[in-house]
Chains A and B, each alone.
Chain A
C-alpha cells in the first residue's frame, strides 16, 4: 500500500476491513433475500445514484 498524501490511520484501515465484511454481507443478503422472495427492486436500498443522462 502506498498511501502518502494523508495519514489514513492504521486503526481506520483495520476498521474498514472489519466493518466492510459486515456491511458487505448485509448488502449481499439483502439483494439475495429480496430476489428469493420474488420482490423485484432495480436498485438495492435507498442510495441516490446519479443518472448519466441527467
Chain B
C-alpha cells in the first residue's frame, strides 16, 4: 500500500489511483480494509444504479462487484455514503493481460453498458482499469462509474473504450501480439492516430476498424481546435447499434499467430515426462505440511506447475513473459471454469507499475501482492546468466514477495544452460550451487532440498528469515 509521504490525494489512505471523481473515492481504513465513499454530488447516480434492478442483475451475472452499505448519512447536508465492496484477490493491470483477457474485459464492459442502457443508466467511463479478474473471469469494480442516462445523449466513454480496448486488441490481432505493452506507456489507452499508423492496410479497411479507429482519429483531429459545447443528440437505438457493432467486431478478433520463444515450452523441454512428474511430486511434498493459501508462480508458462498448487486449494497467480503461454493458460482456465488460477503477462526483469501521476496511480507488484509462497522454477539461470543478475540481488528481490520460496537451481551441466552459454564467453565464474545456496542463506532458512530425478536440477524450499 502506498505510504503517506508520497504526493497524491489529500485524504488519508486514499488510493493513488482514486482522485479524479468528485462523486467519490476509494480508501483504506487503518486496519487495511478497502471502502468506497460516495459524496453528495454522487448520490443520485448511485441510487440510479442501486434503486433500479440493474445492480441486482449485474451482481447476479458476476459482472459487477457486490457491496454492503456500511454508513448512510445522505439525509444530512454534509452527509456521505460509505460502501464496502467485494474484494478481488489480486489487482492486475491491462498491460498484464493476454489477448483474450483484454478481449473478455472489453466484451464485459460492452455487455454492462448495454444492460445499463436498458435501465436508463450509462457508464461515464470505460477505462480498462475498471475491470479486474476474479475467480477466473472479468468483473467490473467501479460502482461509481454508473450515472443516469439522459435520452439523446451520446456515450461519454466511447473514445475511452476505443483507446483502452479496441485499439490494443486490433493491434494485437493485425500488427503484433506484443503491442499491448504500449498500454504501459499510454495510461489512458493507445492514441487512435498512432493505432491507425501501425495497423496494416488490410485491417484499416475493415468497416468496424475503419469507423471506430481510423475515422475516429480523423474526427478527433478535425475537431481538435473546436471549443464549442457539443449539442448533437443520438437516439438510443443508434447508440445501441454502435455498441452492438463494437461487440461483434471485437468478438471476431483473434490474436496474431506467431511462434514465440516459450509458446510451446512444456512440449519442447529437456524434461522427460517422468522427471516432470517427479518435479510436481516434490512440490506437493514441500507444500503439504505448510498452511499455504495463495501463491505466485514467477515464470509459470502455461500453468502446468501452478495447477499442482491449485489442486491443493491454493489460489495461484501464474506470471510468464510469453504472451502465447499466458493466452494458452487463460483459455484453459476458461474452458475448465477454474477459479483459483490467474494467468498474467509479466516480464520479471522489467515488471510494470508505478505509473501515472506522481508514479503513484498504479502499483508495483510487491505493493499489490500478499501471498504465502512464490515459485521460481526453471528461472534462475535466465536471471543470472541471460540477465547478468547476481544471486544476492535475486534473493533480495524474491524476499520481498512472500515468506516461502520454492526455487529450482539449474547447474551449468544442464543442457538449457549450455544453450545460454553457447554464444557467449562464460563470465559467470560465480554461477554454482554453493554460491547460490550462500546467497539465499543470507535472507532465507533452508527447509528442504531435493534433486529432481531424471535431471541435473535441484528444488529448494526456503523460508524467509
A residues neighboring B (CB under 8 Å):
1-3, 5-17, 19-21, 23-24, 26-28, 45-50, 52, 54
- Shortest Cβ distance from A43 into chain B, in angstroms? 11
Instruction: Please pick, from B153, B157, B216, B226, the residue contacting A15 in the complex, using a CB distance under 8 A.
Output: B216
Scan B134-176; emit 1 where CB is below 8 A from any A CB, else 0: 0000000000000100100111111110100000000000000
- Shortest Cβ distance from B214 into chain A, in angstroms? 11
Pairs A–B under 8 Å by Cβ, sample size 5:
A1-B230, A11-B159, A14-B223, A23-B245, A54-B60
Instruction: From known contacts A12-B158, A17-B232, A47-B248, infer whether A27 and B237 are also in contact, taking CB-CB under 8 Å.
Output: yes
The chain B residue sitting closest to A47, CB to CB, is B244
Instruction: From known contacts A6-B124, A21-B238, A23-B238, infer whether A11 and B244 are also in contact, taking CB-CB under 8 Å.
Output: no
- Shortest Cβ distance from B57 into chain A, in angstroms? 7
CA distance A15 to B139 in the complex (A): 29
Instruction: From known contacts A17-B232, A45-B244, infer whether A1 and B219 are also in contact, taking CB-CB under 8 Å.
Output: no
The chain B residue sitting closest to A24, CB to CB, is B238
Instruction: Please pick, from B20, B114, B156, B218, the residue contacting A3 in the complex, using a CB distance under 8 A.
Output: B156
Contact B248 A11 (CB under 8 A): no
CA distance A50 to B59 in the complex (A): 12
Instruction: Please pick, from B150, B155, B230, the residue contacting A14 in the complex, using a CB distance under 8 A.
Output: B230
Instruction: Please pick, from B61, B159, B216, B248, the residue contacting A54 in the complex, using a CB distance under 8 A.
Output: B61
- Interface size range on B against A: 35 or more
Instruction: From known contacts A17-B234, A52-B57, infer whether A8 and B154 are also in contact, taking CB-CB under 8 Å.
Output: yes
Nearest 10 CB-CB pairings of A with B: A20-B238, A11-B219, A24-B238, A11-B220, A12-B159, A23-B241, A11-B223, A10-B223, A9-B159, A15-B219
By a CB distance below 8 angstroms, the chain A residues around B241 are: 20, 23-24, 26-27
Contact B244 A6 (CB under 8 A): no
Most buried by A among B231, B239, B241, B244: B241
CA distance A24 to B143 in the complex (A): 30
Contact B219 A14 (CB under 8 A): yes
By a CB distance below 8 angstroms, the chain B residues around A48 are: 111, 247, 251
Contact B219 A50 (CB under 8 A): no
B residues neighboring A (CB under 8 Å):
20-21, 23, 57, 60-61, 63, 111, 114-115, 124-125, 147, 150, 153-160, 162, 211-212, 215-216, 218-224, 226, 228-235, 237-239, 241-242, 244-245, 247-248, 251
Contact B248 A45 (CB under 8 A): yes
Contact A8 B159 (CB under 8 A): yes
By a CB distance below 8 angstroms, the chain A residues around B219 are: 11-12, 14-15
- Shortest Cβ distance from B194 into chain A, in angstroms? 15
The chain A residue sitting closest to B243, CB to CB, is A47
The chain A residue sitting closest to B145, CB to CB, is A5
Contact A6 B229 (CB under 8 A): no
- Shortest Cβ distance from B70 into chain A, in angstroms? 25
Contact B242 A5 (CB under 8 A): no
CA distance A48 to B220 in the complex (A): 31
The chain B residue sitting closest to A52, CB to CB, is B57
CA distance A8 to B63 in the complex (A): 24
CA distance A54 to B111 in the complex (A): 15
Contact B154 A5 (CB under 8 A): no
- Shortest Cβ distance from A41 into chain B, in angstroms? 14
Contact A5 B20 (CB under 8 A): yes
Contact B157 A16 (CB under 8 A): no
Instruction: Please pick, from A14, A19, A47, A54, the residue contacting B211 in the complex, using a CB distance under 8 A.
Output: A19
- Shortest Cβ distance from A39 into chain B, in angstroms? 19
CA distance A17 to B239 in the complex (A): 8
CA distance A50 to B36 in the complex (A): 28
- Shortest Cβ distance from B149 into chain A, in angstroms? 12
By a CB distance below 8 angstroms, the chain A residues around B233 are: 17
By a CB distance below 8 angstroms, the chain A residues around B229 are: 1
- Shortest Cβ distance from A51 into chain B, in angstroms? 9
Contact B153 A1 (CB under 8 A): yes
- Shortest Cβ distance from A53 into chain B, in angstroms? 10
CA distance A19 to B231 in the complex (A): 16
Contact A50 B226 (CB under 8 A): no
Contact B234 A16 (CB under 8 A): yes
Most buried by B among A7, A13, A21, A48: A13
